[in-house]
Every structure is written in structure tokens, then in C-alpha cells.
Amino acid sequence: MMTTNYPLAVQKMFATVPTLLTATPIFKLTVTMVVKAAHVSRGSFYSHFQDIYDFIHAFEHALIEQATVSKQVLNQGIQAALVHPDPRNAYPTYLELTTNINTQLASFQALLGPHGDPQFLDQFQAGLIDNLLATTEQAPLNHQYFQSIPADYAMPIYFSGVLAIIQHWLTKPHPEPPEVVANIIVQSRYTAAYHLFSDRPLGDDIN
């Protein structure tokens, strides 16, 4: 269950969503489906949510909140980068991010799956940017990273790439451990795109 401040009944209802989405598109879920699967009363549902759409919104918000990287880890990464700019300084940040996601892997996979919410990925990216950009902007010396492109442009560009890696990870039949994905993010984000490919001539693959 989610490590949030939600009451136990709400956590039970949230926990039913991945299973329900294996057969039912998210916007065809009903209150009856949720309370029956969670073994809670309709009264319990309506004491927390106005309707099924309010429930879905709260579920998605809780997942994004679950992935949030702590300010302590973010600040440590920023300070380390200021002292010694090294791609490896970002690893703890992405390790916490991928570890947090992994604790609710089934829920993230369900929302990104064929019966999930097509808008969830955009919401997730916006949440990540809010989480990480807020701390970045609070570090005055860190503005050196945004001399060429304004931060409000640079961060979406940057995190669209991060999110593409996470999305690929979550849609794999057998996802790698969080630490492997964190390392992939660090290596790819700090390597020019053309350096990710082999420099062998195409003819080498034919022979």
C-alpha cells in the first residue's frame, strides 16, 4: 500500500486500481467496482471522495506524490554539483526517484498501460518539474546551469528525456531494478545523443 497519510480504507481502494485496470479502462471504473474489490462500504468511499473522478484524481496525485524526491537529497545533489560538477552527483536523486516509483510499480504500470490514463504521463512530468525545479531555483549559484536557455524551457526539455526512460522502464515485461535505471538516466542525460550510438560503419553489421 502507499506510504501516505491517507486512511487505511482509502489505501485499500487505491490498491485495487491496478487489478481493476487489467480488464476495465480507467474512465469506465465505477464506485461499485472499487468498493467491492476493496471490501469497503459505499459510505466509506463517499466520506473521502465526491465521485469516481475525484477518486481517480486523488489516486494519480498520490502516485505522483509517492515519487517525489526529498528536499534533503535534492539539496545534497545541488551542493555536490556546485563543488565538483560530475554526472555521478545526480545519481542519488534518480535512485530515490526510481526507488519511490518501484514501491508502486504495479500502479504506475497500470496508469501507463492500455487501460490507463493517457494524460497521466504529462501530469507526472509536471509533478517532477515542480518537485525538482523548485529546489534548483532556490540555489542562487545553480542559475549558472540556465545561462543559455531559461529554466522554464530547459527543465521540460531535460525531463522529457528522463520521463521517456522511465516510461520505457515501466512498460517492459521485466523491468530492471531501480538502481540500474537510475544509472541509465544519469549516463544518458549527461551524454550527447550521438555518443549513445556506435561509431562503427553500417557495413560492419552486414558482414
Identify whether the C-beta of residue 111 lies closer than 8 Å to the C-beta of residue 78: no
SS3 at position 147: coil
Strongest mean pLDDT among 51-60, 89-98, 149-158, 186-195: 51-60
Q: Give yes or no for residue 133 having a pLDDT over 80.
A: no
Q: Is the dihedral of CA 30, 33, 35, 38 positive or negative?
A: negative
Share the mean pLDDT of the chain: 82
pLDDT top residue among 159 and 83:
159
Position 48 scores a pLDDT of: 96
**What is the rounded CA–CA span in Å between residue 147 and residue 104?**
37
pLDDT tens for 22-77 read 999 999 999 999 999 999 999 999 999 999 999 999 999 999 999 988 878 777 76
- Which single residue is written with the C-alpha cell 549527461? 190
Residue 21: Cβ within 10 Å count: 22
pLDDT tens for 188-203 read 866 655 555 555 554 5
Start-to-end C-alpha separation, the chain: 53
Question: Pick from 143, 63, 121: which is nearest to 97 by CA?
Answer: 63
Model confidence, pTM: 0.79
Supply the DSSP string of 65-76, one letter for each residue: HHHPPPHHHHHH
Q: Give yes or no for residue 141 having a pLDDT over 80.
A: no
